[in-house]
A and B are shown apart, each in its own frame.
Chain A
Amino acid sequence: MKKIVKYVIVDILRNKIVIAYTAFLLVMSLSVFNLEDNASKGLLSLLNVILLIVPLVSIVFSTIYMYNSSEFIELLVSQPLRRKTIWLSLFSGLTVALSLSFFIGAGIPILLYQPTGTGIMMLTAGILLSVIFVAIALLASVTTRDKAKGIGKVILLWLYFALLFDGLVLFLLFQFADYPLEKAMVGVSALNPVDLSRILILLQMDVSALMGYTGAIFRNFFGTQSGITIAFLVLVLWFVVPLWLSLRKFRSKDL
């Protein structure tokens, strides 16, 4: 397993797109911190990058990588290796490589300019988002045989998590404006890892605005030790469940 993981990591890290992704994050975060007069405003600009770019790159890149290495996977399957090992090594290789490039690109500037609770939370959220979207990409690629269809699917999924879900929430909020939805919103936020990460980061950042009624409910839940633990558990579930589903599918898949 170690060998395959190592091979995948080296293979991905040599990839031009991943290098470009790392460089883009690095330039982006450095310029954001240097251009803005106060560092917290820089973090805010970075927030949108992390919540949009990181999922997009993770999901699309992983999907394309999976399709491109289908022959490699076939070769591995012909060897005396368990399918579970192969699949998990591919997953680990992808997550380690993408998390590493996120850490180099955005993590180091954050640690240099904002080594605060907010910065740490942002870093953790970024890495978790990378992992989650790799898992989702794996599930999407294993369920679709056609490459074009698979890529289309993941782009739609990204669009859903980044934009459509929030639009849907907004629509529902106005439809059910007469009902007390504050507490339900905590539950709804768990349905989207992007929203959940955003709320976790914002609770460290925009403290005073979130002291309003809804904000207070969020804070009472996510601000406590157990709340943060639950939130992280939910985020972990967000990659464990797709990974497990994809693994089940891959085991019995006719290659």
Chain B
Amino acid sequence: MKKNVLLLGFVFFLISNQPIFSETIRVGYGQKITRIQEGIDLSKPGDTLLVTEGTYRQGNIIINKPLVIKGINHPVIDGEYKYELFSIKSPYVTVEGFNVQHSGHSSMVDIAGIKIYNTHHVTIANNILVDNFFGIYSQQSQRCIIKNNQVSATTTATERSGNGIHCWKSDSIHIYNNKVSGHRDGIYLEFVTHSPVEKNDIQNNNRYGLHFMFAHNNTYSENIFRHNGAGVAVMYTRNVVMKNNRFEDNWGDAAYGLLLKEINDGVIEGNHFEGNTSGIFMDGSTRIDMQKNTFKGNGWAIKMQASCMDVNLEKNNFIGNTFDVGTNGSLVLNTFKNNYWDKYEGYDLNKDRIGDIPYRPVSMYSMIVERNPPAMMLFRSFITTLLDKTEKVLPSLTPENLKDEYPLMKPLPL
């Protein structure tokens, strides 16, 4: 029995020679090989390359075989504003621990700090990317991991800056624990499927914190999106799950905590929207389940266009928003149930913690402002308060059916 096992082990050893005979090669300053590209060319598939400390201005580095490339103490790979730094063209590659900076700029090609070309099983971890056109770019790749990277840029002109983490036509990309700031879009996903995006910290980007289009079946959880030019935009997507994210301080007329356009079958749960001009803007979205979210101190908690259908808002907290819900029409095909509204003025006679009269979250004045934005000048003036009160008694302009029949008396512990 023991002999058999040994024999089997030996056979296995022979056929799988690649990883077993792998070596660790040191390249860089103070070593025999100083050019990283030379080290890659000399190594065999499965080897580990350790790059020593220093600043490398060696142009484009192409990784075309399965390798692990690690930087010791974050060596600086500088593109002198001309080159793409790492081009990964082979599966099973790991790039870890580099300081990648100053990639080239182009309006024809998407030059990135680290770019993954048409491959699979690539890991990009613990890198610091500074001032690149695109930070990390995945093109037609599957099963990659992008984690613990810090991506930042300082360009202010949108057309001169690319996206922090950009994925195109990819599948199963696991993006977590990254920090992105100063880029055009923090994370951009287009035609990307089955990808979890988790625990990223996306701040101060010029356009959107997170932007995805045609990216079905993805999950976004526990990310922070703060102070981005226009918040988070999600468009033309099915089966999206957004859980426990924070959307904060996105200010501007066209800035939204979360912009939902043509989103079907989504779940938005446990998120926190605070201090945005509009917490959520919804247009043409259907079958969305929104539960246990907190809307606090926003200008508009939710702007729901009349083109939305079957949106289910249940058990959310609305606290200290200037306007709770804004809409542009009288057609309402959505349900509001068991939410807590701090502006609710009803009573609870049977003490079941549910208010006895419905709450209408759309105020007359918010309808007026929706139709005629300069009317914002009369914000909180006596006449608008008067109009709101009359409208509550006799609804004429506000949609009759937009109401929460069972509003909660006390906020939910979220």
A, B bound = yes
A interface with B by C-beta (< 8 Å): 38, 40-41, 44, 47-48, 51-52, 162-163, 166-167, 169-170, 173-174, 177, 181-182, 184-185, 188-189, 195, 198-199, 202, 206-216, 218
Q: How far is the CA of A237 from the CA of B301 in the complex (A)?
A: 39
Q: How far is the CA of A208 from the CA of B382 in the complex (A)?
A: 21
B interface with A by C-beta (< 8 Å): 251-253, 255, 275-277, 297-300, 320, 322-323, 368, 371-386
CB pair A214–B373 under 8 Å, yes or no, is yes
* Cβ contacts under 8 Å, B383 to chain A: 163, 166-167, 170
Known contacts A162-B382, A182-B374; is A216 also within 8 Å of B322 by CB? no
Q: How far is the CA of A182 from the CA of B372 in the complex (A)?
A: 10
Known contacts A173-B375, A208-B322, A209-B300; is A48 also within 8 Å of B382 by CB? yes
Q: How far is the CA of A207 from the CA of B368 in the complex (A)?
A: 19
Of the residues A38, A177, A213, A214, contact of B377 by C-beta under 8 Å: A214
Q: List 13 A-B contacts (CB under 8 A).
A: A47-B380, A48-B380, A163-B382, A166-B382, A182-B373, A188-B377, A199-B377, A199-B379, A206-B322, A210-B299, A212-B277, A214-B374, A214-B376
Q: How far is the CA of A202 from the CA of B322 in the complex (A)?
A: 11
Measured CB to CB, the closest approach of chain A to B276, in angstroms, equals 6
Q: How far is the CA of A181 from the CA of B344 in the complex (A)?
A: 33
Q: How far is the CA of A218 from the CA of B336 in the complex (A)?
A: 34
Q: How far is the CA of A88 from the CA of B250 in the complex (A)?
A: 51
Q: How far is the CA of A41 from the CA of B300 in the complex (A)?
A: 17
CB pair B251–A208 under 8 Å, yes or no, is yes
CB pair B382–A209 under 8 Å, yes or no, is no
Known contacts A38-B320, A206-B322, A208-B298; is A213 also within 8 Å of B380 by CB? no
Q: How far is the CA of A209 from the CA of B374 in the complex (A)?
A: 13
CB pair B377–A169 under 8 Å, yes or no, is yes
Q: How far is the CA of A162 from the CA of B255 in the complex (A)?
A: 33
Given contacts A166-B383, A206-B322, A213-B373, 13 further A-B contacts (CB under 8 A): A40-B320, A163-B383, A169-B378, A170-B368, A170-B375, A170-B378, A177-B372, A189-B377, A202-B380, A207-B275, A208-B276, A208-B277, A218-B376
CB pair B379–A202 under 8 Å, yes or no, is yes
Return the chain A residue nearest B255 by Cβ: A211
Known contacts A48-B385, A216-B253; is A210 also within 8 Å of B380 by CB? no
CB pair B251–A44 under 8 Å, yes or no, is no
Measured CB to CB, the closest approach of chain B to A104, in angstroms, equals 25
Measured CB to CB, the closest approach of chain A to B174, in angstroms, equals 34
Q: How far is the CA of A173 from the CA of B373 in the complex (A)?
A: 9
Return the chain B residue nearest A47 by Cβ: B380
Return the chain A residue nearest B322 by Cβ: A209
CB pair B251–A209 under 8 Å, yes or no, is no
Known contacts A174-B372, A177-B372, A181-B374; is A52 also within 8 Å of B382 by CB? yes
CB pair B252–A216 under 8 Å, yes or no, is yes
* Cβ contacts under 8 Å, B255 to chain A: 211
Q: How far is the CA of A36 from the CA of B322 in the complex (A)?
A: 16
Top 9 nearest A-B pairs (CB, nearest first) are A209-B299, A209-B322, A213-B253, A214-B376, A211-B251, A166-B383, A211-B277, A208-B299, A181-B374
* Cβ contacts under 8 Å, A163 to chain B: 382-383, 386
Q: How far is the CA of A166 from the CA of B386 in the complex (A)?
A: 12
CB pair B380–A212 under 8 Å, yes or no, is no
Q: How far is the CA of A162 from the CA of B385 in the complex (A)?
A: 12
CB pair B382–A210 under 8 Å, yes or no, is no
Known contacts A167-B383, A209-B322; is A218 also within 8 Å of B277 by CB? no
Known contacts A38-B320, A212-B277, A213-B253; is A206 also within 8 Å of B374 by CB? no
Known contacts A173-B372, A209-B322; is A195 also within 8 Å of B379 by CB? no
CB pair B377–A195 under 8 Å, yes or no, is yes
Measured CB to CB, the closest approach of chain B to A94, in angstroms, equals 25
* Cβ contacts under 8 Å, A215 to chain B: 376
Measured CB to CB, the closest approach of chain A to B243, in angstroms, equals 24
* Cβ contacts under 8 Å, B300 to chain A: 209
CB pair A210–B385 under 8 Å, yes or no, is no
Return the chain B residue nearest A219 by Cβ: B251
CB pair B374–A211 under 8 Å, yes or no, is no
* Cβ contacts under 8 Å, B275 to chain A: 207-208
* Cβ contacts under 8 Å, B368 to chain A: 170
CB pair B252–A211 under 8 Å, yes or no, is yes
CB pair B297–A208 under 8 Å, yes or no, is yes
Measured CB to CB, the closest approach of chain B to A122, in angstroms, equals 13
Q: How far is the CA of A199 from the CA of B379 in the complex (A)?
A: 8
Q: How far is the CA of A51 from the CA of B379 in the complex (A)?
A: 13
* Cβ contacts under 8 Å, B379 to chain A: 198-199, 202, 206, 209-210
CB pair A166–B372 under 8 Å, yes or no, is no
Of the residues A40, A184, A211, contact of B253 by C-beta under 8 Å: A211
In this complex, the member of B252, B371, B376, B382 whose beta carbon has the largest number of chain A beta carbons within 10 angstroms is B376
Q: How far is the CA of A215 from the CA of B371 in the complex (A)?
A: 15
Return the chain B residue nearest A199 by Cβ: B377
Q: How far is the CA of A162 from the CA of B382 in the complex (A)?
A: 7
Q: How far is the CA of A48 from the CA of B381 in the complex (A)?
A: 8
CB pair A209–B277 under 8 Å, yes or no, is yes
Known contacts A209-B277, A210-B299, A212-B299; is A198 also within 8 Å of B372 by CB? no
Return the chain B residue nearest A41 by Cβ: B320
Return the chain A residue nearest B319 by Cβ: A38
Return the chain A residue nearest B342 by Cβ: A41
* Cβ contacts under 8 Å, B381 to chain A: 51, 166, 195, 198
